[in-house]
Amino acid sequence: MTNPTLHVIARIVALPEKVEALKAVLLELVEPTRHEAGCIKYELLQNQSDPTDFTFVEEWTSHDALNTHSVSVHMKAAGAKFEGLVAAKPDVRQYNLLA
């Protein structure tokens, strides 16, 4: 049986000298996102062996909820701060739970 929710893995890599600055921007997203309609889970992880590597693990009730999140005020504000902090464009992937 498949789960009808949408799972998202979003990986963001900081420039080596900008790890703490990017971490601060990413942490600002957590609480407002967790209060959004349709957000089931929104966790921020930092790679233990590579501190430049951040990953959001997300679960949403629908594509509509995710789309609303993508254009939210706090996401737009964070995106505006990424320039000069990230090594590459964020890698965002959407998944369906199979088991």
Q: Would you list the domain boundaries of the chain? A: 6-95
- Give the type of residue at 32: P
pLDDT by residue (tens digit) across 57-83? 999 999 999 999 999 999 999 999 999
- What's the confidence (pLDDT) of residue 94? 97
Mean pLDDT of the 8-34 span: 98
pTM for the structure as a whole: 0.93
pLDDT by residue (tens digit) across 34-45? 999 999 999 999
Question: 6-95: which CATH number, 1.20.1420.20, 3.40.50.1970, 3.30.70.100, 3.30.1600.10?
Answer: 3.30.70.100
Q: Helices 73-81 & 19-34, crossing angle to 10 degrees?
A: 170
* Nearest one of 1, 57, 47 to 23, comparing CA atoms: 47
- Could you tell me the CA-to-CA distances from 36 to 31, 33, 40, 76, 97 in Å, in that order? 9, 5, 9, 15, 21
- Is a pLDDT exceeding 80 seen at residue 23? yes
8 Å CB contact between 26 and 3:
no
8 Å CB contact between 55 and 45:
yes
